[in-house]
C-alpha cells in the first residue's frame, strides 16, 4: 500500500515477525530452527521443512538456531597458561582452566577461563603474604625492620652479633655480617708486636 506525498510515494511494507522457534531467511520467510549440535543445510520451502546438518568435528552449536555454520571450538593454549578441563562436543564449547603458576583474568560462563596471567614474583626485601591461586594473584608485603629476604619468599631475622661488633649492617635484602673491625685487629696485633720486639732485643743483647 502507498500514499502520495507531493511528488513521492511512501510504501508501507508489513514487517514479518517469526515465532521464537523460527528464524528468518534471506528472502524474508520464517523457517523452523535447527536443534543444538546442528545448523541449517537448506532453508525450508512451501513443500519441505528446514534441512539441518550436524556440526563437523572441532565445531559446536549450543543453541537452537538458523545459522549455516557451527562455531569453532576454543583452543586451550598451554603456552598461555591454559589446559583442557572439558573437551568440546557438538553442543558445548571447550572448557579451559588454569595451569599452576597462573591465575585467571577472564572467567567464562561455564566456570572456565579464557585469559590468564603469571603469578607475580615478590621482589627481594619482600615476602609472600598470600600465595597465588588459580583465581587470584600473589600478594606481597615488605619485610619488617630487622628482617631480610633475598629470594622474595620469606623474611628472616637479622643475625645477632654476640661479643663482637657489626661489620656490615643488615638491610631488607641482606643479613648482618658479624666480625671485628680493623681497629680491633690493630689493638690485638700491637701487644703481640711489642712483645716480639722486646724478645728480639733480649736475644740480640
> What structural domains does the chain harbor?
9-72 (2.10.50.10), 119-173 (2.10.50.10)
User: Average model confidence (pLDDT) for the chain?
Assistant: 85
SS3 (DSSP) at 5: strand
Between 5-9, 87-91, 141-145, 175-179, the lowest mean confidence (pLDDT) is in 5-9
5 pLDDT more than 60: no
Model pLDDT for residues 175-204, shown as the tens digit of each residue: 999 987 555 444 444 454 454 544 445 545
Dist CA 143 CA 125 (whole Å): 6
For residue 111, what pLDDT is reported?
A: 84
Asked whether residue 65 carries a pLDDT value surpassing 80, the answer given is yes
- Residue 171: per-residue pLDDT: 95
Cell of 16: 514479518
For residues 146 and 158, the answer to whether their CB atoms sit within 8 Å is yes
The Cα-based distances of 79 to 14, 59, 141, 177 in angstroms read 54, 22, 29, 43
Task: Encode pLDDT of 168-182 as tens digits.
Answer: 999 999 999 998 755
Cell for 83?
589446559
At 8, list the grid cell.
513521492
Predicted pLDDT of residue 181 = 58
Instruction: Decide if pLDDT at 141 tops 60.
Output: yes
Total-model pTM: 0.66
How sure is the predictor about 66, in pLDDT bands with cuts at 50, 70 and 90? Answer: very high
Give residue 110's pLDDT band: very low, low, confident or very high (50, 70, 90). Answer: confident
pLDDT of residue 192: 47
Amino acid at each position: 500500500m502507498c500514499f502520495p506525498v507531493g511528488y513521492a510515494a511512501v510504501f508501507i511494507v508489513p514487517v514479518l515477525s517469526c515465532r521464537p522457534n523460527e528464524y528468518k531467511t534471506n528472502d524474508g520467510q520464517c523457517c523452523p530452527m535447527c536443534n543444538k549440535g546442528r545448523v541449517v543445510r537448506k532453508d525450508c520451502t512451501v513443500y519441505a521443512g528446514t534441512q539441518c546438518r550436524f556440526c563437523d568435528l572441532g565445531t559446536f552449536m549450543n543453541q537452537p538456531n538458523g545459522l549455516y555454520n557451527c562455531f569453532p571450538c576454543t583452543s586451550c593454549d598451554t603456552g598461555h597458561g591454559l589446559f583442557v578441563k572439558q573437551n568440546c562436543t557438538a553442543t558445548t564449547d571447550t572448557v579451559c582452566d588454569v595451569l599452576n603458576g597462573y591465575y585467571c583474568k577472564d572467567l567464562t560462563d561455564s566456570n572456565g577461563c579464557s585469559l590468564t596471567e603469571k603469578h607475580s614474583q615478590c621482589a627481594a626485601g619482600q615476602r609472600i603474604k598470600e600465595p597465588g591461586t588459580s583465581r587470584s594473584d600473589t600478594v606481597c608485603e615488605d619485610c619488617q625492620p630487622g628482617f631480610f629476604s633475598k629470594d622474595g619468599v620469606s623474611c628472616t631475622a637479622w643475625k645477632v652479633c654476640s661479643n663482637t661488633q657489626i661489620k656490615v649492617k643488615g638491610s631488607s635484602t641482606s643479613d648482618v655480617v658479624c666480625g671485628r673491625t680493623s681497629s680491633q685487629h690493630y689493638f690485638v696485633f700491637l701487644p703481640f708486636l711489642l712483645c716480639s720486639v722486646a724478645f728480639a732485643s733480649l736475644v740480640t743483647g
